[in-house]
Amino acid sequence: MARLFAEPRLVVASHNEGKVREIADLLVPFALDIVSAAALGLPEPEETGDTFVANAVLKAEAAVQGASLPALADDSGLAVEGLGGDPGLYSARWAGPERGFNAAMALVQEKLGDNPNRRAYFISVLSLAWPDGHVESFEGRIYGTMVWPPRGDKGFGYDPMFLPDGYDVTFGEMDYDEKQRISHRAVAFQKLIDGCFRQP
């Protein structure tokens, strides 16, 4: 059984404003004092893990160490079947350290070329760490298809190219509240809530 979270304050261990907003919005019902790692001036740790879980734990533990507060971290990415699971762990920096997601989306399309297998999934791992060293981790996925050209200007990252199963709009076209309801992060978040924020 997961540990219940009973602290008044929580650090969201991210410098990604879109990710911080999504996580903070999902935590509204719990009336927590939410602060981002960026707002606290905490450095971004180097993601040296070889799995999404390892990187999420690394980021959560780094924020705990820097702030002496419980921290919630997300490591997420896009896995495209036709690319052997790439960009995967390297989703945020796949096109290069100084290049943005427009370049990364173009690189996905370039590498896919005429490959008919455009199946993909977004994955999110949420790790909640306490100052005493205890950590709980939860994974969520959403499956879909990669489209080209990108569609929509909502969301962030690869959202304009990802068409979730059962929908005719990409994450980049989808209403924010709808994306919040079905996303990989929402799936992981529901597992986190069920495990750590609700009484059994």
Residues in contact with 134: Cβ distance below 8 Å, sequence separation at least 6, in sequence order: 3
Q: In whole angstroms, give the CA distance from residue 54 to residue 189.
A: 17
Q: What count of Cα atoms within 13 Å lies in the side-chain half-sphere of residue 59?
A: 28
**Which residues does residue 38 pair with via DSSP β-bridges, in sequence order?**
none
Q: What is the mean pLDDT of the chain?
A: 92
pLDDT tens figures, 30-64: 989 999 999 999 999 998 999 999 999 999 999 99
pLDDT tens figures, 171-192: 999 998 899 899 998 899 999 9
Instruction: Give 76 or 19, the one with higher predicted confidence.
Output: 76
Residue ranges per structural domain of the chain: 9-197
Q: In whole angstroms, give the CA distance from residue 56 to residue 101.
A: 21
Amino acid making up residue 33? D
Whole-number pLDDT of residue 25: 85
For residue 200, pLDDT beyond 70: no
Query: Starting from the edge strand earliest in sequence, which strands make up the sheet with 71-80, in order?
Result: 33-36, 9-12, 71-80, 119-129, 135-146, 162-164
Rounded to two decimals, the pTM is 0.88
For residue 3, pLDDT beyond 70: yes
Whole-number pLDDT of residue 55: 96
In the set 74, 75, 86, 159, the catalytic residue is 75
Residue 177 a catalytic site member: no
pLDDT tens figures, 105-146: 999 999 999 999 999 999 999 999 999 999 999 999 999 999
Instruction: Give 158 or 22, the one with higher predicted confidence.
Output: 158
109 neighbors 132 (Cβ within 8 angstroms)? no
For residue 70, pLDDT beyond 50: yes
- The CATH code for residues 9-197 is 3.90.950.10
- The position carrying tokens 């005493």 is 132
* Residue 114 C-alpha from the chain's centroid: 29
Q: Predicted confidence band at 92 (pLDDT cuts at 50, 70, 90)?
A: confident
Average pLDDT over residues 91-98: 78
